Structure 1
Amino acid sequence: MSIAIMSQLFKAHLGSTSRKMLAVRLADFADDDGKGIWPTVGRLAQETELSERTVQRILAEFVDEGILVVRAKGGSKPGEATRYDFDLRAIARLKPSKEASDGCHDVTRDTVSPATPATATGDTDDADGCHHVTQTVIEPPIEPSDEREAREAVSEDGPAETPQSIDRSFRRWMPSWPTYVGDSVDAARLAWGSLSPEERAEAAARTGDYLDAAKAGGRKTICSMAVYLREKRWEKLPAKSAVPQGPKLAGPFGKLWMATRFADLFRKPYGQGLELNPFERRLADKIERLIASGAEPPADLTNMERQMLADGQPVRHLMRDKVLRLGWPLVNEMQARASEAKGYPCPQELMPFAEAFQQVKRDGDLFAAWKAEHGRRGWPFLPEGRLPDWIWFPQLITADGGGFDVSAALEHFHHQISDYLAPRSRGNDDAA
């Protein structure tokens, strides 16, 4: 422990209670020469009641400001801490904390108000008090460390920037520029410092957009960092559109899951291998010849051959079977995952339309109507087994005759999501 350094830090103006608390704790580890400091970030955070992120930030600031000097970088082995030394000359140059004065008797630094036994609190009736001013000592309020850190972070990282923090933000941004290795760093740093905090944030946020736009425009060379910053070229970019929400993992047979399933079924079959292969073509030709001959079917026909014979249209039968099995790969994947009780990442854009879905009892009449509608449209139905008791379908529109007009319910939902389907349908048609 270095009492001398600790005393200097107590008297110095360090900018915040968090910085002073950490500096004093570091001095507790140092020897009389300010050397030999290597506690872990976790230990410092625990003993100062600061977050590890705050400790790391303040340590980086002390290094940038020259108060600390890195002697050995840690992290090469588990639990290995970075070793620091204090720079005693930098500590000696720190500004002292503001002197407190009571406005009379010069600065006494007394911590007890003049008081008589009769007025032990130094109240205005105390003849020995100074101008009848009570010198009541107010203890600092006890507040949770996370609230204190949040308040101090606002004051330290807000509009009151320092040259060191501006330079750190520049060094963080600089590697994002593709030519920064051979660029003029000094000119770029000067241009960065001349921007307002809001402009610096916008410049960093739109860097990728600017580089993409330059590449899309056919530019073979990119301007220097300084030109981008000085001319504020990000302001010439079109306004950035709102980023759509990412997919949400939806549970099987729920509202969003079923809406995503129907949205895929509305598209034309787009799976691979939908044409007949040579074996299937020969099989279709065999059944067609059998139908044309009018002869009795041989006893050794397979079940598929018997079904094709009964269907009377072998090619259509095989194509229908292929479409049901392979036509919608996304639906197949969703239902395969559902058979293992796994959800599927579904687009949240469909959620506003899915909210109106209604639950349908499994194996009921309405459920049978939905199954029949799938068959009529040539769609695969829900997988057998492991179906829940209730499944979500589009809101039913009751038919005039009192039946279940599930076809109208589907068409209504199809119309609602037409804007969502349009770009995807074009993409599938091109890919087919």
Structure 2
Amino acid sequence: MSWRVANACAERKFGSATRKQIIMFLADKASDDGSGIWCSKGTIQRHTELGETTVKRTIRDFLKEGILVETGARGCKNGFTVVYRIDLTRIEALELTAEPEIETGATVDPVQIGPGTGATVAGVPGPPRPPNHPKTIHKPSTRERVAAEDEEAEKILAAYPSDRLRGKAECLGRIREVLDAGTEVEDLLQAVNGRVAV
């Protein structure tokens, strides 16, 4: 096993995930000079979990491209296994996988010590502290008034017979329109109960 060969292969593009997986398996079996790889195509298939024809085709392609070189044969229980060598000069000629470094310019103070205070435009500083600072005073909520208005509409809606309701949100919206138009809550309640016609 050679870290040198494995790292060289890991840093290069081979055109597909299948090709990369096979070359990484072979690189794991190689010596530092890329030689001494003897493992059958069946072994490659079992360890990479790829199909038999895929492994055979990829090995053939590597041989045609010169990435792999046959250096001999080694006897085994099924006859012989071909011994391969990875040609490191061919590997180094392949495109790198790393993204090229792009110059983005230098920063004067790359690390901020405290929380930001906003940008200065025309010499006017930003807010003294960010809005999520614990000492920031937020405006009081205006939801109490809305809740009180909704209570009036809810009270009138509760007086409606249940078989007449067709969507609570729409009913509340229409009741709010009538109330905003100037109708008093008590008058509307009496109309709902059937005592006065509106």
TM superposition score category, shorter chain reference = 0.3 to 0.5
When normalised by structure 1's length, the TM-score is: 0.23
**Higher RCO, Cα 8 Å, sep 6+:** 2
When normalised by structure 2's length, the TM-score is: 0.48
Per residue, is there more helix in 1 or in 2?
A: 1
